[in-house]
Amino acid sequence: MTPATLFSLAGRRALVTGAAGGIGASVVQMLRSEGARVAVADRDVSGVAAEAHLPGDLRDPAYADALPHAAAQALGRLDIVINNAGVITRGKVTETSDDDWNLSLGVNVEAPFRVSRAAIPILAETGGGAIVNVSSCWGLRPGPGHAVYCMTKAAIASLTQCMGMDHAHQGIRINAVAPNEVNTPMLRTGFAKRGFDPDTAVAELGKTVPLGRIAEPEDIADVILFLASDAARYLCGSVVEVNGGKAVG
Protein backbone atom coordinates (compact mmCIF):
# COMPACT_ATOMS: atom_id res chain seq x y z
CA MET A 1 0.00 0.00 0.00
CA THR A 2 1.12 3.58 -0.69
CA PRO A 3 1.06 6.10 2.19
CA ALA A 4 -1.96 7.83 0.64
CA THR A 5 -3.85 4.54 0.56
CA LEU A 6 -2.87 3.65 4.12
CA PHE A 7 -4.43 6.80 5.56
CA SER A 8 -7.43 6.92 3.22
CA LEU A 9 -10.80 6.10 4.73
CA ALA A 10 -12.71 6.20 1.45
CA GLY A 11 -15.76 3.99 1.63
CA ARG A 12 -15.54 3.50 5.40
CA ARG A 13 -18.53 4.10 7.66
CA ALA A 14 -17.86 5.61 11.08
CA LEU A 15 -19.72 6.40 14.29
CA VAL A 16 -18.40 9.23 16.51
CA THR A 17 -19.75 9.94 19.99
CA GLY A 18 -19.28 13.33 21.61
CA ALA A 19 -19.30 14.65 18.06
CA ALA A 20 -20.27 18.21 18.96
CA GLY A 21 -17.29 18.77 21.28
CA GLY A 22 -13.84 20.08 20.44
CA ILE A 23 -12.06 16.80 19.69
CA GLY A 24 -15.21 15.13 18.34
CA ALA A 25 -15.93 17.89 15.84
CA SER A 26 -12.34 17.72 14.58
CA VAL A 27 -12.54 13.94 14.25
CA VAL A 28 -15.77 14.15 12.25
CA GLN A 29 -14.34 16.78 9.91
CA MET A 30 -11.14 14.78 9.33
CA LEU A 31 -12.96 11.48 8.80
CA ARG A 32 -15.14 13.06 6.14
CA SER A 33 -12.14 14.76 4.51
CA GLU A 34 -10.54 11.31 4.18
CA GLY A 35 -13.63 9.94 2.43
CA ALA A 36 -15.54 8.32 5.30
CA ARG A 37 -19.29 8.59 5.78
CA VAL A 38 -20.03 9.53 9.38
CA ALA A 39 -22.86 9.11 11.88
CA VAL A 40 -22.61 11.59 14.75
CA ALA A 41 -23.91 11.16 18.30
CA ASP A 42 -24.22 13.79 21.02
CA ARG A 43 -27.00 15.48 22.95
CA ASP A 44 -27.26 18.07 20.15
CA VAL A 45 -25.71 17.38 16.76
CA SER A 46 -27.70 19.92 14.77
CA GLY A 47 -24.60 21.98 14.05
CA VAL A 48 -22.39 19.07 12.98
CA ALA A 49 -22.03 18.31 9.26
CA ALA A 50 -22.37 14.55 8.78
CA GLU A 51 -24.20 11.89 6.79
CA ALA A 52 -26.33 10.75 9.75
CA HIS A 53 -27.41 12.49 12.95
CA LEU A 54 -28.24 10.36 16.00
CA PRO A 55 -28.84 12.70 18.94
CA GLY A 56 -29.38 11.33 22.43
CA ASP A 57 -28.08 10.96 25.96
CA LEU A 58 -25.34 8.35 26.31
CA ARG A 59 -26.35 7.89 29.95
CA ASP A 60 -29.53 6.23 28.68
CA PRO A 61 -28.63 2.52 28.41
CA ALA A 62 -31.19 1.87 25.67
CA TYR A 63 -29.77 4.68 23.53
CA ALA A 64 -26.14 3.58 24.00
CA ASP A 65 -26.98 -0.07 23.34
CA ALA A 66 -28.83 0.78 20.10
CA LEU A 67 -26.38 3.36 18.75
CA PRO A 68 -24.08 1.11 16.66
CA HIS A 69 -27.03 -0.63 15.01
CA ALA A 70 -28.66 2.74 14.30
CA ALA A 71 -25.41 3.98 12.74
CA ALA A 72 -25.04 0.83 10.63
CA GLN A 73 -28.62 1.17 9.42
CA ALA A 74 -28.21 4.86 8.58
CA LEU A 75 -24.87 4.39 6.78
CA GLY A 76 -25.38 0.95 5.25
CA ARG A 77 -22.63 -0.68 7.33
CA LEU A 78 -20.22 0.15 10.16
CA ASP A 79 -16.42 -0.02 10.04
CA ILE A 80 -15.15 2.45 12.66
CA VAL A 81 -16.34 3.46 16.12
CA ILE A 82 -14.83 6.44 17.95
CA ASN A 83 -15.85 6.52 21.63
CA ASN A 84 -14.94 10.14 22.18
CA ALA A 85 -17.63 11.46 24.55
CA GLY A 86 -16.33 12.37 27.98
CA VAL A 87 -16.75 14.64 30.98
CA ILE A 88 -14.31 16.00 33.55
CA THR A 89 -15.24 15.89 37.23
CA ARG A 90 -12.79 17.77 39.43
CA GLY A 91 -12.17 17.30 43.12
CA LYS A 92 -11.10 14.83 45.76
CA VAL A 93 -13.28 11.83 46.62
CA THR A 94 -14.59 13.74 49.63
CA GLU A 95 -15.68 16.57 47.32
CA THR A 96 -17.43 14.29 44.82
CA SER A 97 -21.23 14.13 44.87
CA ASP A 98 -23.36 11.20 43.82
CA ASP A 99 -24.36 13.22 40.74
CA ASP A 100 -20.68 13.74 39.84
CA TRP A 101 -20.06 10.01 40.26
CA ASN A 102 -23.06 8.95 38.18
CA LEU A 103 -22.29 11.43 35.40
CA SER A 104 -18.62 10.44 35.18
CA LEU A 105 -19.22 6.70 35.29
CA GLY A 106 -22.14 6.92 32.90
CA VAL A 107 -20.43 8.94 30.17
CA ASN A 108 -16.76 7.94 30.57
CA VAL A 109 -17.11 4.21 31.30
CA GLU A 110 -20.58 2.74 30.87
CA ALA A 111 -21.31 4.41 27.52
CA PRO A 112 -18.14 3.23 25.72
CA PHE A 113 -18.64 -0.22 27.26
CA ARG A 114 -22.20 -0.43 25.92
CA VAL A 115 -21.35 1.05 22.52
CA SER A 116 -18.38 -1.29 22.10
CA ARG A 117 -20.34 -4.33 23.23
CA ALA A 118 -23.02 -3.60 20.67
CA ALA A 119 -20.58 -2.64 17.90
CA ILE A 120 -18.25 -5.64 18.06
CA PRO A 121 -20.72 -8.19 16.58
CA ILE A 122 -21.64 -5.71 13.84
CA LEU A 123 -17.99 -5.14 12.92
CA ALA A 124 -17.25 -8.87 13.06
CA GLU A 125 -20.06 -9.67 10.62
CA THR A 126 -18.34 -7.69 7.87
CA GLY A 127 -14.80 -8.90 8.55
CA GLY A 128 -13.62 -6.50 11.23
CA GLY A 129 -12.98 -2.83 11.78
CA ALA A 130 -11.56 -0.41 14.31
CA ILE A 131 -12.67 0.98 17.64
CA VAL A 132 -10.81 3.96 19.11
CA ASN A 133 -11.48 5.04 22.69
CA VAL A 134 -10.42 8.28 24.33
CA SER A 135 -8.63 7.75 27.63
CA SER A 136 -6.28 10.28 29.23
CA CYS A 137 -2.72 10.60 30.50
CA TRP A 138 -4.44 11.25 33.84
CA GLY A 139 -5.83 7.73 33.71
CA LEU A 140 -2.37 6.23 33.24
CA ARG A 141 -0.58 8.38 35.83
CA PRO A 142 -3.20 10.05 38.04
CA GLY A 143 -2.76 13.60 39.24
CA PRO A 144 -4.24 15.36 42.27
CA GLY A 145 -7.74 16.76 42.57
CA HIS A 146 -9.41 14.65 39.88
CA ALA A 147 -10.09 11.36 41.67
CA VAL A 148 -13.16 10.14 39.80
CA TYR A 149 -12.00 11.48 36.41
CA CYS A 150 -8.66 9.67 36.74
CA MET A 151 -10.41 6.48 37.80
CA THR A 152 -12.77 6.50 34.81
CA LYS A 153 -9.97 7.15 32.33
CA ALA A 154 -7.90 4.35 33.88
CA ALA A 155 -10.91 2.09 33.45
CA ILE A 156 -11.28 2.89 29.76
CA ALA A 157 -7.55 2.32 29.18
CA SER A 158 -7.79 -1.09 30.83
CA LEU A 159 -11.00 -1.96 28.99
CA THR A 160 -9.29 -1.05 25.70
CA GLN A 161 -6.36 -3.35 26.40
CA CYS A 162 -8.64 -6.24 27.34
CA MET A 163 -10.96 -5.81 24.34
CA GLY A 164 -7.95 -5.45 22.07
CA MET A 165 -6.76 -8.93 23.05
CA ASP A 166 -10.21 -10.50 23.11
CA HIS A 167 -11.38 -9.41 19.67
CA ALA A 168 -8.23 -9.21 17.55
CA HIS A 169 -9.01 -12.64 16.08
CA GLN A 170 -12.22 -11.17 14.64
CA GLY A 171 -10.26 -8.59 12.68
CA ILE A 172 -11.25 -5.82 15.09
CA ARG A 173 -8.47 -3.50 16.24
CA ILE A 174 -9.31 -1.74 19.50
CA ASN A 175 -6.98 1.02 20.67
CA ALA A 176 -7.11 4.22 22.68
CA VAL A 177 -5.59 7.67 22.59
CA ALA A 178 -4.52 9.27 25.90
CA PRO A 179 -4.24 13.07 25.68
CA ASN A 180 -3.07 15.47 28.34
CA GLU A 181 -4.65 18.96 28.40
CA VAL A 182 -6.46 19.94 25.17
CA ASN A 183 -7.67 23.42 24.22
CA THR A 184 -11.36 22.54 24.02
CA PRO A 185 -14.53 24.40 25.04
CA MET A 186 -14.83 21.96 27.97
CA LEU A 187 -11.38 22.94 29.29
CA ARG A 188 -12.10 26.64 28.81
CA THR A 189 -15.46 26.40 30.52
CA GLY A 190 -13.78 24.67 33.46
CA PHE A 191 -11.32 27.57 33.81
CA ALA A 192 -14.13 30.14 33.61
CA LYS A 193 -16.16 28.35 36.28
CA ARG A 194 -13.16 28.54 38.61
CA GLY A 195 -12.77 32.28 38.01
CA PHE A 196 -9.82 32.19 35.57
CA ASP A 197 -9.59 33.95 32.24
CA PRO A 198 -9.53 31.05 29.75
CA ASP A 199 -7.06 32.65 27.32
CA THR A 200 -4.60 33.49 30.10
CA ALA A 201 -5.02 30.08 31.75
CA VAL A 202 -4.43 28.21 28.49
CA ALA A 203 -1.33 30.30 27.75
CA GLU A 204 0.07 29.69 31.25
CA LEU A 205 -0.68 25.98 30.99
CA GLY A 206 1.18 25.88 27.68
CA LYS A 207 4.36 27.03 29.44
CA THR A 208 4.37 23.75 31.40
CA VAL A 209 4.51 21.66 28.20
CA PRO A 210 7.93 20.85 26.67
CA LEU A 211 6.54 21.53 23.18
CA GLY A 212 5.46 24.97 24.36
CA ARG A 213 1.67 24.70 24.11
CA ILE A 214 -1.19 22.46 25.13
CA ALA A 215 -2.77 20.32 22.43
CA GLU A 216 -5.33 21.62 19.96
CA PRO A 217 -8.24 19.28 19.12
CA GLU A 218 -6.68 18.57 15.72
CA ASP A 219 -3.53 17.22 17.38
CA ILE A 220 -5.61 14.50 19.03
CA ALA A 221 -7.90 13.94 16.05
CA ASP A 222 -4.90 13.20 13.83
CA VAL A 223 -3.84 10.34 16.11
CA ILE A 224 -7.40 9.01 16.33
CA LEU A 225 -7.58 8.92 12.54
CA PHE A 226 -4.24 7.12 12.42
CA LEU A 227 -5.54 4.46 14.82
CA ALA A 228 -8.70 4.06 12.75
CA SER A 229 -6.78 3.72 9.48
CA ASP A 230 -4.86 0.89 7.84
CA ALA A 231 -1.64 2.70 8.75
CA ALA A 232 -2.19 1.36 12.28
CA ARG A 233 -2.95 -2.16 11.04
CA TYR A 234 -0.64 -3.82 13.60
CA LEU A 235 -1.71 -1.79 16.63
CA CYS A 236 -4.17 -3.60 18.84
CA GLY A 237 -4.89 -3.02 22.52
CA SER A 238 -2.55 -0.02 22.56
CA VAL A 239 -3.00 3.18 24.55
CA VAL A 240 -1.15 5.96 22.73
CA GLU A 241 -0.16 9.01 24.77
CA VAL A 242 -0.37 12.39 23.05
CA ASN A 243 0.98 14.84 25.60
CA GLY A 244 3.58 17.17 24.07
CA GLY A 245 6.17 15.61 26.39
CA LYS A 246 4.40 16.72 29.58
CA ALA A 247 4.01 14.32 32.47
CA VAL A 248 0.94 14.51 34.67
CA GLY A 249 1.42 16.22 38.01
State the catalytic residue, choosing from 149, 155, 164, 182.
149
How would you write 196-241 as a 3-class SS string? CCHHHHHHHHHCCCCCCCCECHHHHHHHHHHHHCHHHCCCCCCEEE
* CB of 85 closer than 8 Å to CB of 17: yes
- Closest C-alpha among 125, 126, 134 to residue 159: 134
Q: Could you tell me how far CA 123 lies from the centroid of its own chain?
A: 18
Angle between helices 185-193 and 22-33 (to 10 degrees): 170
* CB of 121 closer than 8 Å to CB of 163: no
234 belongs to the catalytic site: no
| Total residue count of the chain as it appears in this document | 249
**Beta-carbon contacts of residue 89 (< 8 Å; ≥ 6 apart):** 96, 100, 101, 103, 104, 146, 148, 149
* CB of 19 closer than 8 Å to CB of 48: yes
**Beta-carbon contacts of residue 99 (< 8 Å; ≥ 6 apart):** none
Which residues are annotated as catalytic? Answer: 149
